[in-house]
Structure 1
């Protein structure tokens, strides 16, 4: 049976994604998590492989004009895609010519901008040992939590942000004709102007909306799967989710306390608390078993001194700490002893 015919918009979305991945995989700051997401995208549809190979042609030809760093080697499933339709090939060949012209003659960059292929601004932002506030080229304000990295690219028809790791609070400059799209893990968040938080750890993603409205997609390879959020709602997803899990933000939620340098737990199970804690640690803490994960944790902790949290846990919880064969700390539930009769 022949593959379904894609719409013009779907072709454009795939071409945009291929251009994004070609640029990210050639970047020095490309992470292992991004490469995994790319491999998932590459293998999700034969047309993805076709468009990515076309972008590599563009990159290879441009190398003859301006040297660039080679893309890291990624093992991908073998593909036997059918030839791309004439529309895609024609656009691709035009893109090759435009890319070479952009490298050779700066004025020709207008071509790539007008077609929506090339951004007129591209920036990388990161925060390591301290939170950071940045203002992007479009005027949007972003607070970066510790250990956070993201990129911003401004295209004619959209503003594109990729959250590679960490957490960020966005105050997006309103522009209904110029959507602001945040890619995180295998999904994305689409807005025109609003305030929201995006947290990511090991490809788990949670989006919390404070003001305005957003559309959350758990898998960018599935067209038309955006789910709307209203203020006071949140969405979460992980690889393999066809749709995000939507819920209301609980009263007294402390998820945004990181903006004041705090990590606050309000009777939270260790199974949910550890992903939040591990984001701040060089070596993740593990749970010995599911029963240990049900123990609840409370208290307020300084995000700049999370290393002391591990030592304090046996003092406030019925647990003890061991190490596994890899030297990683493991939390174990301390067995209660029955009083002697």
Structure 2
């Protein structure tokens, strides 16, 4: 990472791939974020104090870097600045004159604002214009300075993101050890029962975990299980991820185990296929998501020739005997 690229990033002059490079570097470590925050403060201070300075710029730049080293800043490799960025040396002089380092010592980590859906599907608008639809009981938080730092911490649940396009400030979602990075696109994230699923509806999304990284396009998804370190993308095969937005379970030749999985998540139920012979059967129908579980199970059973019985908290599905 070079200072030249960081300056372009602060000036909103980076190309899309450059913005993603900077954001990936920022997410790599806390020290990188600290360095950038202090670098940004220098920039903001310089704009206020950059009128005139009689101080030798080269000497001031050398003193500035020495001062930074004494503050234990883990700065990236610094190449000589191009003439177009000569003003930064002047900024360093002025920051030193203004004793701005005292402000750096008072640096406070960015705070986050929480969003919780509770018992109803909730729509939220973030400060950058991004639109979120939170399924019931979903929880996340976003940076308080979101217009400059489009960072989201995803705790649990299911959320559909329609991200406002801003190539200079990529949108980053952190989920445990998984990071999702986008510029402007729409996608669904589910983080439940130690599983994380990302499905892209429009645009391009980068998903990374450790040293692994994959790129997802429209109609592709990745399913990440706890303890698995490989990221494998595949085609999304149904529209069931959308049920809480469309209020419909669209079953278009959907395998019964997949139907049971979604119904268990939607109704917090324990439906169990009690007959191995029906696990490969598929169903064509559309169910309403705002009706009762019993009503939807009745429709499924009448369509497929099945029956269901309750056994304490469990619901057992099996073939209807003739």
Same fold (TM over 0.5): yes
What's the counterpart of residue 279 of structure 1? 265
Name the structure 1 match of 2:110.
118
Name the SS of the counterpart of 2:297 in structure 1. helix
1:164 matched to 2:155? The reply is yes
Identify the match of residue 258 of structure 1 among 244, 254, 260. Answer: 244
2:190 aligned with 1:199, yes or no? Answer: yes
Partner-residue secondary structure (3-state), 2:266: coil
Please report how far the alpha carbon of residue 253 of structure 1 lies from its aligned counterpart in structure 2 after TM superposition: 4.1
Query: Are the equivalent residues in 2 in contact too, given 1:185–1:203 (CA < 8 A)?
Result: no
State the distance in 2 between where 1:265 and 1:212 align: 25
What CA distance in whole angstroms lies between the structure 2 residues aligned with 1:255 and 1:188? 20
C-alpha RMSD of matched pairs (Å): 3.6
Q: 1:240 maps to which residue? A: 227
Contact 1:271/1:293, CA 8 A, preserved across alignment: yes
Report the equivalent of 1:318: 305
Q: In 2 relative to 1, CA 284–10 (structure 1 residues): closer, same or farther, beyond 3 Å? A: farther
Residue 229 of structure 2 aligns to a residue in which SS?
Answer: coil
**1:147-199 Cα shifts (integer Å, max 9, x gaps):** 32222125687422233333222121233343322234652311122211212
Deviation string, structure 1 residues 282-340 (Cα, Å, up to 9, x no partner): 3332233644432323322222224232344432333333445xx22233322766xxx
- Judging changes above 3 Å, is the alpha-carbon distance between structure 1 residues 318 and 331 closer, same or farther for their aligned structure 2 residues? farther
Take 2:310 and 2:255, find their aligned partners in 1: how far apart are those partners?
A: 21
- TM-score, length of structure 1 as denominator length: 0.57
Rounded to whole Å, the distance in 2 between the matches of 1:257 and 1:332 is 22
Deviates more, 1:171-180 or 1:152-161: 152-161
Ranges in structure 1 where 5+ consecutive residues have no aligned partner: 1-8, 17-86, 93-106
Give distance in 1, aligned partners of 2:310 and 2:185: 44
Contact 1:211 1:231 in 2 (8 A): yes
Number of equivalences: 233
In 1: Cα distance, 2:313 partner to 2:176 partner: 25
User: Which of 314, 329, 338 is 2:314 aligned to?
Assistant: 329
Structure 2: any 5+ residue segments left out of the alignment? 1-23, 32-68, 75-101
Could you tell me the TM-score, scaled by structure 2's length? 0.60
